[in-house]
């Protein structure tokens, strides 16, 4: 059964509460880069007695433009959305994947055409259908010169694979220059590896949020999240409210980030 709308009085109170948090946040340090693990779409569909997981994936996709607006309004510069892992590509049923590929293709096109965002695909193209590859590539090309919110769409993404790809890239570049393994051993630094990740040149995520109550990274941004703050929301992603996001940012602002000191 679909969730009922909140009573009018309750909605007004939430509006006042949201505005109070938002005003407070404008005086606090906010994350430059928010990474979101979009989770719980399938369970949301099941909870609402819908026929297929695709209903949940579409509901989750419909929430994303709204979520990006929340981020823009608060001055966040980079958002990474974990939409489809490399494990998902190899582990889910063909029917569900086909529908999910179509939904992500539509989402990439919508974000690219309806916003001032700069869209970037992070992940591997291998295993993705040509239609999705085209949609992601076209979104990148269409938004290449945009200077607004930078939106990373993590599709066919795996954190361990990303690190392996970064090391391969470093080895190839070094080999082309005629360098030796011994020389590379002296040059190899965390900064060099970071520059060769899919997100090279971007700030690491300050805050990683995961919906649906699960408390694990699931192979997401393993390198980049070394110093990130984490926040876990009980709501399934389609049910994520702005107040939930504001609470996450409030929690982040109240934390003291020590970086080992």
Give the catalytic positions in this structure: 39, 88
Q: Do 178 and 45 meet the contact criterion of CB atoms below 8 Å apart?
A: no
52 vs 54: CA distance, rounded Å: 5
Helical H segments across 143-225, by residue range? 159-176, 181-187, 190-195
First to last CA, the chain: 50
Q: Do 240 and 63 meet the contact criterion of CB atoms below 8 Å apart?
A: yes
And the tokens for 163? Answer: 């690190």
Q: How far is CA 126 from the centre of its chain?
A: 20
List, as one string, the DSSP characters of 135-152: HHHHHHHHTTT--S-EEE
């Amino acid at each position: 059964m679909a969730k009922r709308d909140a009573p009018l009085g309750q909605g007004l109170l939430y509006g006042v509460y949201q505005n109070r948090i938002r005003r407070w946040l404008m005086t606090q340090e906010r994350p430059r880069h928010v990474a979101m693990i979009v989770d719980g779409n399938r369970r949301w569909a099941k909870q609402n007695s819908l026929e297929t997981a695709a209903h949940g994936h579409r509901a989750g996709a419909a929430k994303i433009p709204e979520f990006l607006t929340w981020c823009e309004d608060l001055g966040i510069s980079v958002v990474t959305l974990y939409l489809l892992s490399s494990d998902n590509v190899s582990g889910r049923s063909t029917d569900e994947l086909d529908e999910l590929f179509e939904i992500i293709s539509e989402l990439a096109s919508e974000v690219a055409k309806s916003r001032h965002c700069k869209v970037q695909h992070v992940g591997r193209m291998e295993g993705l259908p040509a239609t999705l590859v085209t949609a992601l590539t076209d979104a990148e090309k269409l938004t290449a010169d945009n200077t607004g919110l930078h939106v990373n769409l993590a599709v066919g993404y795996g954190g361990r694979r990303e690190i392996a790809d970064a090391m391969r890239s470093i080895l190839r570049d070094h080999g082309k220059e005629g360098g030796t393994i011994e020389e590379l051993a002296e040059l190899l630094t965390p900064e060099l590896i970071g520059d060769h990740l899919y997100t090279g040149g971007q700030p690491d995520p300050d805050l990683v949020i995961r919906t649906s109550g699960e408390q694990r990274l699931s192979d997401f941004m393993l390198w980049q999240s070394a110093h990130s703050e984490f926040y876990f929301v009980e709501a399934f992603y389609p049910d994520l409210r702005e107040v939930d996001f504001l609470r996450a940012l409030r929690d982040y602002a109240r934390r003291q980030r020590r970086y080992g000191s």
